[in-house]
Amino acid sequence: MGTQNNNWTGEEAPAMVAKDAQSRPNILVASDGESAAVLSDILTQDEFSVTRVQNGWATLDRLRHSPVDVAILDRKLGGVDGAEVCRQAKRDQDTRLVPVMLLLSDPGSREECLESIEAGADHLISMPIDVPVLIARLRSLTRMKRYSDDFETVSSVMTTLCAMIEARDRHSEGHCHRMANYAATLGRRIGLTGEQIHVLKRGGFLHDVGMLTIPDAVLLKPGTLDAKERALIESHPVIGESLIANLRSLQQVRLIVRHHHERRDGSGYPDGLRGEEIPLAAQIVGLVDVFEALTSPRPYQEPHSSEGALVILERQVKQGWHRRDLFDEFAFIIRGD
């Protein structure tokens, strides 16, 4: 940031330096004082694209209708004060993930700080501002916002894909949600971490995404599949993996999508993996997928009872298809023992 002071008091503004605006984080500065112009100039000189507004109502409108990575709000905004703007933004589904920094009076009373935190502020700043610290914090909050945006996008993609899968077959309504819940519950039961359970949930939703490419005549066929049709069905794990291969947030889910039809004795598909070659998450989703298939109406079969499905699953365990401990824990969940 050139020769500017490390602490900014609102009395001076450094020269502007042009940068590629398209790559800059979008910072909203909401204040009606001259200090807002100085702050905006400082941030623009660095790597940020800055928009200024002067009252609370304009701030709420801008948050709702424009892309904002971080909002810096003066506590003393006109119309609606900064704390109330923050409170409303955090309650709104469309703006709740936008990080908010509240600018306090110098130095900010204890009551002011507590009210700001209770309003949902992600960070508090007061005059004089330590510019390098402020910029470092803005970079950190921007990364958090873009991670959140990424997860929100993936969540929307998963919901849409799930709806598309279920819309093709009237018998499969709720299948993706049940799969996600079964897999996550079993993951918790065996002591997996929160992140591992998160991956299981996504894998439960997306394990059959490759089925979107299978023709209805094959997918919904009531009779026995011929060899060509069976090969087409068995291609869906590989196709599914390829469909999500370029989504960064779904990299850990790819192994579930590809390997949830593998069997521990090597008789599964698509790669004939054996034993612990099969990722644990894929083994979990594969086990609950069999249960879900057995207990749901299908074009080729009437649904089994939960107990009947567990009997079949235990038979498959004895054949060497599934892990005994995973089956036992899942049976415990289903039976509610």
Q: Would you write out the chain's pLDDT as a tens digit for each of its 337 residues?
A: 333 444 433 433 333 333 344 468 889 998 877 767 777 878 887 678 888 888 889 898 888 888 898 999 888 888 888 889 999 998 887 788 888 988 887 666 788 788 888 888 888 887 777 778 888 888 888 887 877 666 666 666 666 766 776 666 655 567 888 899 999 999 999 999 988 998 999 899 889 888 888 888 888 788 888 999 999 999 999 999 998 887 777 888 999 999 999 999 999 999 999 999 999 999 999 999 999 989 987 666 788 999 999 999 999 999 999 999 999 999 999 998 5
Angle, vertex CA 246, rays to CA 147 and CA 214, nearest 5 = 125
Half-sphere exposure of 131 (CA within 13 A, CB side): 22
Instruction: Give the long-range contacts of residues 6-9, CB within 8 A, separation 24 or more.
Output: 6/130, 6/131, 6/132, 7/128, 7/129, 7/130, 7/131, 8/38, 8/39, 8/42, 8/128, 8/129, 8/130, 8/131, 9/127, 9/128, 9/129
> Which one is the CATH code of 168-335: 1.10.3210.10, 1.10.10.350, 3.40.50.720, 2.40.50.100?
1.10.3210.10
Residues 239 and 208: their CA atoms lie apart, in Å, by: 10
Q: Is residue 29 within 8 Å of 39, Cβ to Cβ?
A: yes
Instruction: Domain 7-146: give its CATH architecture.
Output: 3-Layer(aba) Sandwich (3.40)
Residues 182 and 306: their CA atoms lie apart, in Å, by: 13
Report domain extents, the chain.
7-146, 168-335
Which value, to the nearest 10 degrees, does the dihedral of the CA atoms of residues 312, 313, 318, 324 take? -160
Indicate the pTM of the whole model: 0.58
